[in-house]
Amino acid sequence: MSLWGKRADMLEHESDPYNAEPPLAALAGQPVTATDTFYSRNHGPVPDIDADAWRLVVDGLVHTPLELSLADLAARFAERTVSATLQCAGNRRSGLIAVRDIPGEDPWRGGATSTATWTGVRLSDVLTAAGLAGEAAHVCFAAPDVTSLADPPQAFGGSVPVAKATSAEVLLAWAMNGQSLPRVHGAPLRVVVPGWVAARSVKWLTRITVTTQPSDNYFQATAYRLLPPDADPDSAGPDDGLSLGPVAHNCEILLPCDGQRIAPGPTTITGYAYAGQDRAVARVDVSLDAGATWMQAQLDAPDGPWTWQHWRLEADLPLGDVRILARAWDTTGALQPEHAADLWNPKGYVNNSWACARLTVGAGPS
């Protein structure tokens, strides 16, 4: 096992803060990602919180401010479980880096996406107990994990609009895949905001504040914003660019692996596709000839309205060098953009260009 109980073959981008993703093959055929395989994205050292002493404060534009222990949450509110995919905003950044370097940003491949079952209570139930004031527009989340990425250093935070915060799928989760939430994934309590970039699913949650404006935390106001290609990320300030919220629909090829040599004959090509927000994947197309012709993959039904979908295609690959492409359509009729070059941005967010795997088909070691 590697750090934090993760599988030994995790691709570790950083050890402190711990940032790692599984090899793509480890996600194949797994609608729910094992906890030891689930990717990990952190901005500072992982906090060590005493769950017995921990309290959640709910304040701001509410009629009845609250201070709740884990026992209070369990006793006062109905337990809920939601299956949800979380996707890092930098997922597949390596494809953008191949277009043009992005200094200081981890080269995430396609494994910064994982799916788990999350158990806790609905955020909406807690907000109802606190009583939202009429002018409430945003729900802000605060955590104790301090990062030097902000200047001066500050703890991580973020926010979502009230309309999303009060949706039934948004949880305050204390369990993951039927077990107590691991420390590296936010114990004792985290937010899970299905369909939105995972930066909004704040871990190690300590405070919920209801406001009229989005959070002024660095990671809401300045980071996790989509800047234009000519922007200088070092001088970008609050509210520059577009705030990242709902996930853009995306797909990835999981098997065979990019760069692999495979034997000729029938081959199963597999991958995942994920639409984000309240959309679903409608179709996945696969090309075995670099986009000259396309075939429809078999698309699995999702485990729920907030999860990815796995797909597969059985094919006989021609001998020689083969370039496989995959592209997804969502239920609005939108198609992924073709080229990573058209999406390049100085923070390396939202690479949802067509997936690609280059193979060599022929005799010899794989």
Task: Domain 250-361: give its CATH code.
Answer: 2.60.40.650
Rounded to the nearest 5°, which phi and psi values hold at 178? 80, 5
- How do the domains of the chain map onto residue ranges? 3-243, 250-361
Rounded to the nearest 5°, which phi and psi values hold at 22? -80, 160
Structure tokens of 312?
């597969």
Query: Which amino acid would we find at residue 26?
Result: A
- Tell me 181's DSSP state: P
Instruction: Please say whether the beta carbons of 139 and 162 come within 8 A.
Output: yes
Query: Contacts for 257-260 with beta carbons within 8 Å, 24 or more apart?
Result: 257/23, 257/24, 257/25, 257/357, 258/356, 258/357, 258/358, 258/359, 259/358, 259/359, 260/357, 260/359, 260/360, 260/366
Class of domain 3-243: alpha beta
**Tens-digit pLDDT profile for the chain (366 aa)?**
578 999 999 999 999 999 999 999 999 999 999 999 999 999 999 999 999 999 999 999 999 999 999 999 999 999 999 999 999 999 999 999 999 999 999 999 999 999 999 999 999 999 999 999 999 999 999 999 999 988 899 999 999 999 999 999 999 999 999 999 999 999 999 999 999 999 999 999 999 999 999 999 999 999 999 999 999 998 888 989 999 999 999 999 999 999 999 998 899 999 999 999 989 999 999 999 989 999 999 999 999 999 999 999 999 998 999 999 999 999 999 999 999 999 999 999 999 999 999 999 997 655
For 333-346, what is the HEC assignment?
CCECCCCHHHCCCC
